[in-house]
């Protein structure tokens, strides 16, 4: 298992996601490039702690960068409480501009208190919820959740992120 920082960058360098180890899990941030400026916009995940069964973002503890026929992808798994999470992050092929695609799933043995991904809001990034997922923005936080998380089982949510 690696705890080294892992990065997935767009071919043109305008957008990337960086995962780094923090305490007991990987945390991540999205970094963009602002044309004609030295400023680098960022949007960081909001994460939980080791004692939370339902953290505000998935607790990914194993992560690897894999070369697949469709391109590079970050693949990861993790657990908290009695639930297990998985993630795949890759570039969306049909997008007109660099777009990251996140695909999360959680195997829940009980009805989740909270399930989803949480970020510190940044209007310089556009997030679109995928099928079976919903997006909410509440002040400083952006959350993407499964549209239905009211039972045990395997629940999935997807979303894409690009610069504005």
Mean pLDDT, contiguous 10-residue spans, the chain (164 residues):
87 93 96 76 94 96 93 96 96 86 96 95 95 95 93 93 90
pLDDT at residue 93, as a whole number: 75
Decide: pTM greater than 0.75.
yes
Biggest alpha carbon–alpha carbon distance for the chain: 50
């Amino acid at each position: 298992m690696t705890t080294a920082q892992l990065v997935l960058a767009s071919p043109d360098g305008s957008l990337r996601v960086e995962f780094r180890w923090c305490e007991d899990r990987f945390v991540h941030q999205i970094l963009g490039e602002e044309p004609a400026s030295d400023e680098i916009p960022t949007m960081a995940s909001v994460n939980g702690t080791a004692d939370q069964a339902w953290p505000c973002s998935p607790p990914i503890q194993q992560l690897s960068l894999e070369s697949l026929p469709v391109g590079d992808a970050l693949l990861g798994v993790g657990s908290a409480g009695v639930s297990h999470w998985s993630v795949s992050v890759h570039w969306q092929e049909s997008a007109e501009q660099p777009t990251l695609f996140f695909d999360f799933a959680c195997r829940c043995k009980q009805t989740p208190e909270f399930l989803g991904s949480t970020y510190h809001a940044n209007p310089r990034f556009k997030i679109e919820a995928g099928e079976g997922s919903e997006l909410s923005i509440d002040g400083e936080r952006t959350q993407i959740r499964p549209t239905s998380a009211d039972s045990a089982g395997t629940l999935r949510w997807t979303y894409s992120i690009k610069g504005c």
